[in-house]
């Protein structure tokens, strides 16, 4: 199979089935192991990334991540304020 055909098959996958299976997997994992399941997965991804890119995360990437988290906190706070005001 040539690369274009492989890319076409990949793009044509039933992404909804994949998303559904992923959701079912993590639901089972959470029910069986609690929040530690997602922590283990997170740590495995962290370790993999450090093997692929030992310099990761860079100072800039860490700052961008922090900025995104702070923005998310602001969004949650506005939503909470709106719910309290109702």
pLDDT in tens, 31-86: 999 999 999 999 999 999 999 999 999 999 999 999 999 999 999 999 999 988 77
Q: How many Å apart are CA 3 and CA 15, to the nearest integer?
A: 20
Determine the angle formed by the axes of helices 36-52 and 15-33, rounding to 10 degrees: 120
Instruction: Specify the pLDDT at position 52.
Output: 97
What's residue 1's pLDDT? 84
Measured distance CA(54)–CA(51) in Å, rounded: 6
Residue (of 40, 68, 66) closest to 58 by Cα position: 66
Q: CA 51 from chain center: how many Å?
A: 19
CB atoms within 10 A of CB 21: 10
């Amino acid at each position: 199979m040539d690369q274009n055909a492989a890319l076409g098959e990949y793009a044509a996958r039933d992404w909804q089935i994949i998303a559904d299976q992923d959701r079912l997997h993590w639901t089972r994992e959470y029910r069986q192991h609690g929040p530690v399941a997602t922590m283990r997965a997170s740590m495995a991804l962290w370790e993999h990334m450090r093997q692929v890119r030992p310099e990761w995360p860079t100072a800039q990437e860490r700052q961008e991540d922090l900025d995104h988290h702070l923005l998310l906190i602001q969004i949650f706070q506005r939503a909470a304020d709106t719910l309290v005001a109702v």
